[in-house]
A and B are shown apart, each in its own frame.
Chain A
Amino acid sequence: MKLQQQIDRLTARRASEWHQRLEGGGEQDRKAFVAWLKQSPLHVREYLETMYTDRVLAHLDPTREEDVAALLTWAAPVVALEAGASRDVRPHEPMTNSATDARPAAGSRRRTMGLAVAATLLCAVAAPLLYQQLAGPQRFTTGIGEQRTLELSDASVVTLNADTRIVIRFARDSRHVELLRGEALFEVARDAARPFRVHTPTAVIRVVGTRFNVYERPEGAHVSVLEGRVQVMAQPPSIQDESDTPLAENLGAGEQVQVEADGTLRHDPGADLARTIAWRERRLIFSDTPLEEVVREFNRYNRTTRLVIEGVPPGSHHYNGIFEASDPQSLAALLAREPDLTVAHDEGVIRIRPR
């Protein structure tokens, strides 16, 4: 796919997502939306066109030729899979049906064949796009302060946060992504025949189609599920096949788990998913967060102004608040008001020391 087409698809998707989010959205959504519009005239155009499309869609299928009941019957196994009813689905043997043969006739019942046909259809649609990535692994990195959104050949979208490194290995029957460092938000396109796996140095995450965030930190991987279900397990030290490890854990939407360096899985019952993915809007949200972590977060986004802690004991200061990721000065101003800290501004460095 040409780069321009990929950008068009992503922008169309974003605009459409905004249109939806604003329907029930609050103050934060509205502000973030305005910020997005202000980024580029293209966003403005895209949004206007999306609003137009939405109006035109009211005139969809006026003669009611499409049979929704038949469509739903046909797709039933796919829905069951999404709902997590069956997670041991094996990839199906390729079918000989052509895509046109497989279309449902009105009122037809093909419940048992549905999944295989759907998988075949998906493959048929995806096939021309796959060749780029069958060739070999692709590597992507972001520097400090940089974010990047990639659309993969299977239409999955990966957004990389700052200071992140990933390798993508797609094959005919598998989709592997290695998150070597940093944080990424995955929106995985459904393809039951090609499970999507994310490997980090500490964790393995297996999904069919869903949205989740992975943040690989020194103390372990944080996995947060926004939609659908994923299976999380510790990265086995030597075994190649992760299906042998007993530590697999199923996570549903709204759940968050931390895979610690020793392989322990720890649930985080108070997970705040809005906070987890706030990085996409370049906001940093802290709640009772130790100073050293606050500083680490700011430094992921800012290359020109680095924050350095000198001699302040870890765990001695905790902070709540919402910050613009690109504005470490706002943190410096806050810290300068602490009675037991001093803040010194050097060339490109803000030093935080005990008073």
Chain B
Amino acid sequence: MPDPLPKTANSAVRLATLAFRKYAPELHRYIERRVRRPASAPDLTQDIFERFLQVNDVEAVRNPQAYLYGIASHVVREALFREDRSLVSYDSEAVDTLGKTVEHALPDDLAERLALQEDLARGLAELSVMQRAVLLLVKRDGYSYEEVAHRTGLSVNTVNSYVFEARAKMKLALKRRGGNHGGMEESSP
């Protein structure tokens, strides 16, 4: 079977996937820091953006989200190495070990984890009743949109829009805490 992807895109995707597998925990920790304490995290967005643009045929990539995530993981990892050059020297074994340490997105420090839970609870309280119910059914209880629609009497489309609106609000709620803690770049003029 011929591969429908052009060669360049294909190999770029493979690299990005690899990067994502290796560096995903770093990426999560980085974004976590960026979202909740923006002042303490460098903004690597421009770098990620430029690398994303560099691949000619990004439209042909089957899974652009994963691809972007892969690039971002790589950029973040590189930046961390630059930051900690005096402490860590690059060797492949160290990278592999780091990749295995954290499996999920939650921060590993207990205080941070509690703070995050608090932020999530507060964000949840800011949602409308239906957004709250639908988000809990989907994210906490693991129901599909169809199941939620059946249970609530809403259309699948409406469930869908409740989830994306709720997610957007939760993101802003997480970020607001960061902004309150003196993140210069987040404050508006």
Of the 9-residue stretches A28-36, A172-180, A317-325, which lies at the interface with chain B? Answer: A28-36
Chain A interface size, as a band, is: 35 or more
Give the number of residue pairs across the A-B interface with Cβ within 8 Å: 177
Q: Please provide the chain B residues from 90 to 125 with a CB less than 8 Å away from any CB of chain A in the complex.
A: 104-106, 116-117, 120-121, 124
Bound Cα distance A51, B65 (Å): 9
Please name all residues of chain A whose beta carbon is closer than 8 Å to the beta carbon of B48 when the two chains form the complex: 41, 44-45, 48
The reply to whether A53 and B170 contact each other, CB–CB distance below 8 Å, is: yes
Bound Cα distance A66, B128 (Å): 14
The reply to whether A52 and B53 contact each other, CB–CB distance below 8 Å, is: no
Bound Cα distance A68, B170 (Å): 18
The reply to whether A68 and B137 contact each other, CB–CB distance below 8 Å, is: yes
- Distance to closest chain A CB from B85 (angstroms): 24
- Distance to closest chain A CB from B39 (angstroms): 15
- Pick from A2, A38, A66: contact of B136, CB under 8 Å: A66
- Pick from B49, B174, B189: contact of A44, CB under 8 Å: B49
Bound Cα distance A16, B160 (Å): 11
The reply to whether B155 and A60 contact each other, CB–CB distance below 8 Å, is: no
Answer yes or no: B87 CB below 8 A from chain A CBs.
no
One digit per residue, 1 when the CB lies within 8 angstroms of any chain A CB and 0 when it does not, for chain B 47-65 equals 0110011000011011011
Give the B interface residue count (CB, 8 A): 63
Answer yes or no: B133 CB below 8 A from chain A CBs.
yes
Answer yes or no: A350 CB below 8 A from chain B CBs.
no
The reply to whether A45 and B64 contact each other, CB–CB distance below 8 Å, is: no
Please name all residues of chain B whose beta carbon is closer than 8 Å to the beta carbon of A13 when the two chains form the complex: 164-165, 168
* Chain B: CB-nearest residue to A55: B105
The reply to whether B129 and A12 contact each other, CB–CB distance below 8 Å, is: no
One digit per residue, 1 when the CB lies within 8 angstroms of any chain B CB and 0 when it does not, for chain A 17-49 equals 101101000000011011001101110110111
The reply to whether B152 and A49 contact each other, CB–CB distance below 8 Å, is: no
The reply to whether B139 and A37 contact each other, CB–CB distance below 8 Å, is: no
Answer yes or no: A9 CB below 8 A from chain B CBs.
yes
Answer yes or no: A3 CB below 8 A from chain B CBs.
yes
Answer yes or no: A355 CB below 8 A from chain B CBs.
no
The reply to whether B171 and A44 contact each other, CB–CB distance below 8 Å, is: no
- Pick from B61, B68, B141, B167: contact of A68, CB under 8 Å: B141
Given A20-B160, A56-B105, A118-B129, 8 further pairs, Cβ under 8 A: A12-B172, A30-B64, A44-B48, A44-B52, A52-B35, A60-B136, A66-B140, A83-B155
Pairs across A and B, CB under 8 Å, 19 listed = A2-B188, A3-B188, A4-B188, A13-B168, A16-B164, A19-B164, A19-B167, A20-B160, A30-B64, A45-B48, A47-B65, A55-B105, A56-B116, A58-B104, A66-B124, A68-B133, A68-B136, A71-B132, A227-B161
Interface residues in chain A, defined as those with a beta carbon under 8 Å from any beta carbon in chain B: 2-5, 8-9, 12-13, 15-17, 19-20, 22, 30-31, 33-34, 37-38, 40-42, 44-45, 47-62, 64, 66, 68, 71-72, 74-75, 78-80, 82-83, 104, 118, 121-122, 190, 211, 226-228, 253
